[in-house]
Amino acid sequence: MADLTRARAEAHDNADPLRALRGRFVLEGEGDNRIYLDGNSLGRLPREAASRLAERTAEWGERLVTGWPDWIELPTRVGDLLAEGVLGARPGEVLVCDSTTVNLYKLAHAALAARPDRRAVVADPDDFPTDRYVLEGVCAARGVELRWEAPGGPIASDVALVALSHVSYRSGALADMAAITEAAHRSGALALWDVSHSAGAVPVELEATGADLAVGCTYKYLNAGPGSPAFLYVRSPLLEELRSPIQGWFGRRDQFRMGPRYEPADGIERFHAGTPSILGLAAVEAGVALVAEAGIERLREKSVALTELIVDLHDARLAPLGFELGTPRDPTRRGSHVALRHADAWRITRALIERARVIPDFRGPDSVRLGVPPLYTRFVDVWDAVDRLARLLEAGEHLEFGAELSRVT
């Protein structure tokens, strides 16, 4: 059994090679002892993102339309940074644009159009809502069967596309990208990964695993702000074959010739739709650069140690209070958040926020999610949060809150 004292957690922080990076984030609001464990939903504000946003805003004001020749390269330039520093992909394979939802829609349609003889999609019934809803709509529109199957099984020979998340938003389970992609390929299907809950915290080896397609958001572990532009990845050999269903002018070859009919651009730009958000890209660039600077292997190492501490503290202090671990115990099979299951999870989440100043989030039906983005989460944050959680349960404070769900996020 590990040493579970607070002093030990402090010692971990003192030895943390990423320790200095916490100071690169805005930490206002922490003065009153708030502990933020929801960076897996919305990451913190990097100081560099705030300054890049202000600089780009000033650039808009000064350069006006003459800024475009530089700005227009940002979606692919920041995409290349993401490819190399975060996603294990090659230059020219990643584009920063639109939302995860719209990107998933584009790639799912493109994949099905490229495999017209196959009439089924396999998706995870526990996947993040927008993934499920988008696939449902795409399959209905194309008259393709949508099969809800837990990840990891064999793939039938009529399947065009296997689509799932790398890290489960609810349980925090980390899927075996290489094995599942290989199973898809064995049956001739394409594999599409949503890496929203892994990019920036877990190595995402798109090239090494053979992944065909991927989408993801930048406002979680990449810290680019609420509703920041998302990204998409298409493996180079597929680029020529795949076309976006949304034929926008930014995806057209020789866009500014404004020619008569649509022809897709040669590269990853063909998956552009409309005008990209230049201010949004400024924050993405800053957020991605910070993750790349830290190094994804070092981030992963710290993330595993942080989730391991939650698991150990759960066993010692929370299990006796009726909690059950909702996340795999094997650290190689989990991402950077941990789900603590409890019949009163909703009231406990509210009490944690309102009484204990710990900010986790709730995921139905019964999980309190603790996210520990390794760039800025300290071991003492984890220790203190679990300590406050245990004391709150022991005092029965959560019972003062209604059990009825009544919330926005």
Q: Which residues are catalytic?
A: 128, 194, 219-220, 369
The residue (of 153 and 259) whose beta carbon lies closer to a second copy is: 259
Binding window for a second copy (CB under 8 A); candidates: 130-138, 172-180, 185-193, 332-340? 130-138
Nearer to a second copy, 250 or 383 (CB): 250
Q: How far apart are CA 71 and CA 67, in angstroms?
A: 6
Segment interacting with a second copy, rule: CB under 8 A, options 64-72, 204-212, 284-292, 381-389: 64-72
Looking at the Cβ atoms of 220 and 388, the one nearer to a second copy is 220
**Among 6, 63, 329, 391, which residue interacts with a second copy (rule: CB under 8 A)?**
63
Q: Which of 99, 114, 158, 253 binds a second copy (CB under 8 A)?
A: 99
Nearer to a second copy, 20 or 405 (CB): 405
Torsion of CA 267, 176, 87, 263, to 10 degrees: 10
Q: How many CA atoms lie within 13 A of 365 on its CB side?
A: 1
Whichever of 81 and 102 has its CB closer to a second copy, that residue is 102
> What is the crossing angle of helices 6-15 and 379-395, to 10°?
160
Among 1, 14, 20, 29, the residue binding a second copy under the rule CB under 8 A is 29
How many residues at the interface with a second copy, by CB under 8 A?
87
Of 86, 95, 102, 162, which one interacts with a second copy (CB under 8 A)? 102
136 near a second copy, rule: CB under 8 A: yes
The least distance separating a second copy from the CB of residue 243, rounded to whole angstroms, comes to 9
Stretch that binds a second copy, among 14-22, 178-186, 259-267, 285-293 (CB under 8 A): 259-267
Please provide the size of the chain in residues: 409
Cα→Cα distances 163→197, 334, 386, Å: 15, 19, 35
Question: According to the binding rule CB under 8 A, does residue 116 interact with a second copy?
Answer: no
**Which window, 34-42, 86-94, 152-160, 315-323, contacts a second copy (CB under 8 A)?**
34-42
Using the structure block, give the residue that is written with the tokens 């050999």: 237
Shortest CA distance to 149 belongs to which of 167, 134, 161? Answer: 161
The Cβ of residue 332 has, within 10 Å, a number of other Cβ atoms equal to: 8
Q: What angle do CA 142, 132, 81 make, to 5 degrees?
A: 95
Please tell me the distance from the alpha carbon of residue 378 to that of residue 236, in angstroms, as a whole number: 39
Restricted to residues 198-237, the positions that interact with a second copy (CB under 8 A) are 217, 219, 225-230
Q: Cβ 127 to a second copy, closest distance in Å?
A: 11
Residues 378-407 that bind a second copy (CB under 8 A): 405, 407
Q: Partners of 193 in the beta sheet?
A: 164, 214
- Which one of 15, 66, 143, 332 is in contact with a second copy (CB under 8 A)? 66
Tell me: does residue 159 bind a second copy (CB under 8 A).
no
Q: Are 377 and 3 in contact (CB under 8 A)?
A: no
**Cα 323 to Cα 199, 289, 358, distances in angstroms:** 28, 38, 17
Region binding a second copy by CB under 8 A among candidate stretches 176-184, 257-265, 328-336, 392-400: 257-265
From 41-49, 157-165, 206-214, 294-302, give the range in contact with a second copy by CB under 8 A: 41-49
Q: How many CB atoms lie within 10 A of CB 396?
A: 9
Cis previous bond, 365, omega within 30: yes
Q: Are 25 and 376 in contact (CB under 8 A)?
A: yes
With residue 94 as reference, give the H or E element that holds it: strand 94-96
Of 387, 399, 393, 395, give the one whose Cα is nearest residue 316: 387
Q: Which is nearer to a second copy, 169 or 323 (CB)?
A: 169
245 binds a second copy (CB under 8 A): yes
Residue numbers 308-347 binding a second copy by CB under 8 A: none
Q: Which of 19, 90, 119, 133 binds a second copy (CB under 8 A)?
A: 133
From candidates 6, 266, 275, 394, binder to a second copy by CB under 8 A: 275
C-alpha span between 129 and 363 (Å, rounded):
12
Binding of a second copy by 141 (CB under 8 A)? yes
Displacement of CA 57 from its chain's centroid (Å):
27
